[in-house]
């Protein structure tokens, strides 16, 4: 039997239980998956107290960096972006991985977005680092718009091939083929008011709470194409499901089913 949970603080808004339970049902598997409130200073004790019946864990903020110091093994990609959103039990203990990077890649591919050259990312935290690693490429130019200069060195480790530059928060947004919001809820609202009357390219909102965000609503109202954070949740979640179940899934078939289940759970 699969036994898992999503950990974080706050965690009550998480749709991961809906996603995982729906996936198990569609795969014909029996599994338990719940949301558990765990703060950063509680994570070590919580994981140490888990017995052998636990299969895996999903991690959201603020645990994605904390877990790297606790896991018995850390995947190379998770180490490079200094963030892990998944723990899987292995013969050597708990293995930390990230499915966020591939989640960004698969979401963009699902919407046919694969020929962009210029990328602007709002934010410089764990989500931004995953987005930067996902969008890295020799023919690309990436601009990070952020408020935390001390995070620049960590972001540079995430980008191997693309040309990378940093812009201070509050500056006008550079023109780009792809704009990604990787900031916490409400932080990018000020930029929604500064959007031009004619937007270009694709906007990718990493959040699904609130729904929709002010930035995404404004972008679409101006006639732009926007991708929402629910698709990101679904695609990173599919990778987690495969890791926890050991099953290979048909992404194109399962993704719409999981999205519909999450949308239904969001309705009042």
Question: Residues 64, 69, 157, 214: which is the catalytic one?
Answer: 64
Q: State the CB neighbour count (10 A cutoff) for residue 153.
A: 8
Kindly state the helix (H) or strand (E) to which residue 18 belongs, with its residue range: helix 16-26
Would you call 267 helix, strand, or coil by DSSP?
A: coil
Task: Confirm if 247 and 24 have CB atoms less than 8 A apart.
Answer: no
Residues 137, 163 contacting (CB under 8 angstroms): no
Compute CA 73 distance to the chain's CA centroid, rounded to the nearest angstrom: 21
For residues 143 and 167, is the Cβ–Cβ distance under 8 A? yes
Contact 21, 50 (CB under 8 A): no
Known active-site residue 64: yes
Which two tokens mark 257?
């089913």
Which neighbouring-strand residues pair with 168? 146
> CB neighbours (10 Å) of residue 161?
11
Distance (Å) of CA 268 to CA 157, 213, 265: 42, 17, 8
Catalytic residue IDs: 64
């Amino acid at each position: 039997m699969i036994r898992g949970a999503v950990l974080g603080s706050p965690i009550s808004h998480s749709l991961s239980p809906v996603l995982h339970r729906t996936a198990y049902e569609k795969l014909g598997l029996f599994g338990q998956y719940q949301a558990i409130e765990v703060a950063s200073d509680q994570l070590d004790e919580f994981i140490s107290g888990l017995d052998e019946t636990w299969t895996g864990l999903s991690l959201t903020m603020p645990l994605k960096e904390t877990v790297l110091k606790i896991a018995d093994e850390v995947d190379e990609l998770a180490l490079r972006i200094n963030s892990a959103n998944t723990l899987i039990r292995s013969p050597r203990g708990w293995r930390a991985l990230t499915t966020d990077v591939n989640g960004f890649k698969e979401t963009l591919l699902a919407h046919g977005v694969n020929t962009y050259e210029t990328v602007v990312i709002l934010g410089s935290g764990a989500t931004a680092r995953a987005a930067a690693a996902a969008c890295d490429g020799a023919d690309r130019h990436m601009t990070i718009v952020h408020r935390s200069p001390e995070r620049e060195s960590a972001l540079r480790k995430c980008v191997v091939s693309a040309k990378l530059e940093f812009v201070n928060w509050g500056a006008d947004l550079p023109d780009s083929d792809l704009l990604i919001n990787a900031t916490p809820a409400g932080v990018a609202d000020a930029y929604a008011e500064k959007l031009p009357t004619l937007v270009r390219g694709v906007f990718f909102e990493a959040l699904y709470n609130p729904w929709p965000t002010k930035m995404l609503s404004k972008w679409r109202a101006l006639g732009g194409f926007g991708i929402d954070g629910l698709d990101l949740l679904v695609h990173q979640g599919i990778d987690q499901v495969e890791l926890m179940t050991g099953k290979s899934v048909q992404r194109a078939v399962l993704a719409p089913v999981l999205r519909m289940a999450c949308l239904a759970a969001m309705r009042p």
